[in-house]
Amino acid sequence: MILLTAPPILLYLLSFTLLYSIVLGENDRPIIGIITQEVSDEEFLQYGKTYIPDSYVKFLESSGSRVVPIRLNLSEKEYVHLFQSINGVLLPGGAVDLLESSFAQTVGIFYRLAIEAASTGGYFPIWGTCMGFQILTAVTSGENLLCKTSANNISLPLILADDISSSKMFCHAPSELLRAASQENITGNFHHFGITPQTFQANKKLSAFYRILSTNHDQDGVEFVSTIEAWDYPIYAVQWHPEVNRFQWRSDLTYPHSANAIWISQYMANFFVSEARKNANHFSNPKEEDSSLIYNWPLTYTANISGYEQVYFFD
């Protein structure tokens, strides 16, 4: 029995052990792809045309995964090869067109391949954060259903669904972590648009594909969906940013850094990487694998011009 009075670090270690025990004997060298996105800030243009913030890379690495950048505007054949070589995909936050951008088109390919793989028993997990959440709703529904939600630079507790314990994402979460998530400001929000529960449930494509795990209210009282998971596929998304809790530090931004904020960030990373461990894809040879990893690209210090400490730039 896990006592509610146990210190958070003990509860974290127990939850970490539990998550990993359920995939014992499976892929212990997972590699997860992160899709790059177009540069929209002028300050970044001097470094490259597309980028990945290092906080997403560290988020995955902290739970035992390596990372491959998925660059934009490759051929579908190249994307299929990448899909067959990696064990999952993370869609980061940012700002691109949800339907027409190269980022959205690339997401659509991996989304389709994941669904097709599932039809033959494959298991390919996808994770979306903030913009990644929004694009997954657009890819599934075929339209942009967002409305204005003023939740930029604010940390909030989650309003958890009543049946949260039956979810794949939180079924192994210690009760003390769920209490902290629902009562403390440990989820960082940095978005101007979101999707309301009413719009979400009214769209049959969305409500049939995903279940709502949590909602929140923005600074004007508008309710928005903040955490979802697919009913029948390993596809998960959060409107909030678990990666910032441990890896972003700009003092004028509300990145939560409390012990429980660190705990939920690590829990979410552990969960998604544990999902990737269930996938057995691999590169055809060690040389190709090594040349594909993000270690081949340098990091650029960007804390002086952005909220990111460091960024990988491409193209």
Res 26: pLDDT = 86
257 as an active site residue: the answer is: no
Q: How many domains are contained in the chain?
A: 1
171 as an active site residue: the answer is: no
Task: Look at residue 13 and tell me if it is in a domain.
Answer: no
Catalytic residue among 81, 171, 241, 282: 241
Res 25: pLDDT = 57
pTM: 0.91
Catalytic residue among 130, 147, 171, 191: 130
Distance CA 83, CA 283 (A): 10
CATH number, domain of 88, equals 3.40.50.880
Task: Look at residue 314 and tell me if it is in a domain.
Answer: no
Task: Look at residue 276 and tell me if it is in a domain.
Answer: yes
Task: Look at residue 10 and tell me if it is in a domain.
Answer: no
Res 24: pLDDT = 47
Res 40: pLDDT = 87
Task: Look at residue 299 and tell me if it is in a domain.
Answer: no
What domain range is 267 assigned to? 32-37+46-289
Task: Look at residue 315 and tell me if it is in a domain.
Answer: no
Task: Look at residue 93 and tell me if it is in a domain.
Answer: yes
User: Which residue positions in the chain have pLDDT lower than 70?
Assistant: 1-25
Res 4: pLDDT = 41
